[in-house]
Structure 1
Amino acid sequence: MAALPASKAINERHIANRLQYSLREYLSILYLRMSENFKIVLRGRVVLHHNLADDLKYIEYILYKPHSGGHVEGVVVTTIGFLKEAPDVNIHGFNVYHKNRLILPFWRVVSYSDCRGRGVVGILEANFIEPTHNKQDFERTSVFQKLEARLKDMTWEYWDCHCGLVGYQVRKQFRVTTPSKTPFNITVPAGTEHPQMLNQRVPLEHLRMLNERVPFTVKETKGRPEQFTLETPGKSREGVCMKRKADVLTEDEQSVRARQQNNQQDNVLLEQNMKLRVNCSEYEKREEELNLKATQLRSNIQEVELEIKRLLDELKSLEAVKVE
């Protein structure tokens, strides 16, 4: 019973819950990248930028290329990992940015009843979908629905491959059916490097069918032709994740340099954007001053016209008196 309050306190202190009532916490993650010349001041204090990727462990980068009508809509690199507080936190979801601005914080794409997906958090910048007018959601287009489905699969794939690293039980199984419709459940334990003996009689052709999904070597046991040995090329957890591993980006030197160059370009664009905003505000202020001055001049002109009219009327009255 003592662990429950501690877990509850960890959840309440997490930024995913604090941003619901703290404007400072929300502003700290409002922008994915911030220029050194750009600052947000709230009640006389500068808001410190918070990088959500720093809260993750066992990080992986997954490439996603959405297609629509046979054309590639864009390229997205999703940063995904477990929260450092996992498995003690009951938080999950994706932080979706659009053109450097946060639109959906901790967007829950999966609902779990057996902890599958718990603690998995991702960060991505989806510039290929349009946000709503209030910048609080995205337009429900077909591309958005495809992104939601891909993030759901991504969450489960990452969970199945890494849940054992944070203390959850690995329960990933593969199902193979025989011609007689009799199912055989073959479990490949995570982290197993030695051959695993099968206690069930599984026909060799069905093991070959399974080999198309998870690479392994099938060998007959001496003296027992009805039993076989599975020899995986590495840890079986890698075999479970072959589909996802094809999309994972290896963070080599070239990718690091490319990201640094992109960050530099983004910083330059942010600086230019800030300068343009300052110039725009100055022009707007100048426009207001000119409009006010024009209004005053119009008022003065009207007063002068009234004065001229009054003087003309007075002159006419004087001329009439002289004639009499």
Structure 2
Amino acid sequence: MSLKPPKNPCNVVDLSISDDEGNNEDERFHIQIQQQSMPSSWTESRSFWRAGAYDPISTPSPSFHEELERARVHPKFLHTNATSHKWAFGAIAELLDNAVDEICHGATFVKVDRIYNTRDNSPALLFQDNGGGMDPDCMRQCMSLGYSSKRTDTTIGQYGNGFKTSTMRLGADAIVFSRKICGSRATQSIGLLSYTFLRRTGQDDIIVPLVDFEINDNRAQPIIYSSQDDWSNNLKTILEWSPFSSTEELMLQFEDIRPHGTKVIVYNLWLNDDGDFELDFDDDEEDIRLRDENSYERLSKSHTAMVKSHISYCLRYSLRAYASVLYLKKFAKFQIILRGKPIQQLSIAEELKFPKVITYKPHLGMASKEVLVETTIGFVREAPGIRVHGFNIYHKNRLIMPFFQLLTGGSGTGSVKGNGVVGVLEANFIEPAHDKQDFERTALFIRLEMRLKQMIYDYWKSHCHLIGYLPGGSLIHGNFQQGLPVEQPDVGLAANFQTVLSTDQPIIGIAVPRGINSSGTPREVASMDDSGSELVEKICDENIQLYLRCEEHREKEAGLKQTIEKLEGELKDARRKCSQLATNIEIQRRQIKQ
């Protein structure tokens, strides 16, 4: 693999089909599997969302050498499992999380870069950290489905699924190199997770070739678990299906890992529907961007420059912007190095003006330990000129929901109440979804959602005069700050991402002068002082209060039911003991009479 482009780079990976046949033995399960050549009519889709649509070849049942029959996991599951990541940056974040979790083992950096596959000149993604690394057992756990030893209060990962879903979401294949020192023993391991290999050879089970070495006197000696033939077959498979065609090339990958660390290379990257790579490495040599950004840029020229300057817009298409706010606390001795340049972390809370800290006490139930959550809320720097609101919700230091919108009014209805109000909190008391881009929709989350909405309304009512508005949403001084100049000196915090931005609708994240719609033509401005709007807001506030009261009553009801069940159980035990005593007394009476 090379950081520099070859002389004749190609834009699309050539996945020509091989007619070679061979045998491969999986070292871990000792299964003999016959490789089959693919029919000439068979084609592979290079688009991620279509990659699972292929007809599996019927393969002969594998022979199990003195092993019990077991359920198998079809390779299609790798693709199905990866579809949990709707967003490519969410997959990259999973791999960054793995490196951040290695800080406790001494990691000081993680590198993310574009390198080249020397076999076909195609781009590949490199992730490399100098953490503790993985020994052979840890490497097998990493490659297994659902295994995770990360169950502490500080580690981000917990499901044992992130590596598989993230790598398979970014590309069809991934190869992992890891070196670890444990006491006086030093090992290095190589593992190949290849969807291409599994599809082309017609496997009906997920096979992951692995080879391990022990380092003695600076020499790598193979670690043999079953037989030399098994180890050699695994190495042969890795050399055939990885970007490296010789053992020497494989061993060279450990040179920059030094004593310990891990390197992940994702190759055969997925394409979009137009046949281009999903990830764009050419638009900015210091960044990685999503290529489909242009399809969402239906903005007027006067708005484009401004909207691109805001972090909430940039983080949806720029990996550098997204990674800058991905972690709540700034690292003291750790860096994310993207394409050779360290990422400067940005604290959203520190960028707010007129900030206020609100303590939130979630209702966790009778048996749970009480927790207090500090929520920082304030106006974005550009308020009131920019229509943005929402909360940035973190979990264990990791951003889960950026600029989560809670108000249903907003610019689409002409309402300005709550606009410019942004909050930040770390919600460790609720569980994130598997893709870590949302939270499980539990009662706890619903209560939090309602409470955050109330915070926005309360903050607006008490602070809106600081940016020139009355609580009802009208301007204090008529045409106060009708609009902002197109070029903004500061990079601000803008609104939540919209799936489609249309020029005939107000654009969230940019300033639209009052009386002018997004296309630049005059329009009537709806007043928020009319009784109808005030009545709606009043009803919304009352609904929030009623909902919170209902939830409190539900909590009390649940507690009372538990108390009743406990008392009923005690009463049942008392009756049983009473019955036993009565029986014993009756038996003793009969014995006395006799």
Structure 1 length as normaliser, TM-score?
0.50
Q: Which of 1 and 2 has greater Rg?
A: 1
Greater fraction of residues in helix: 1
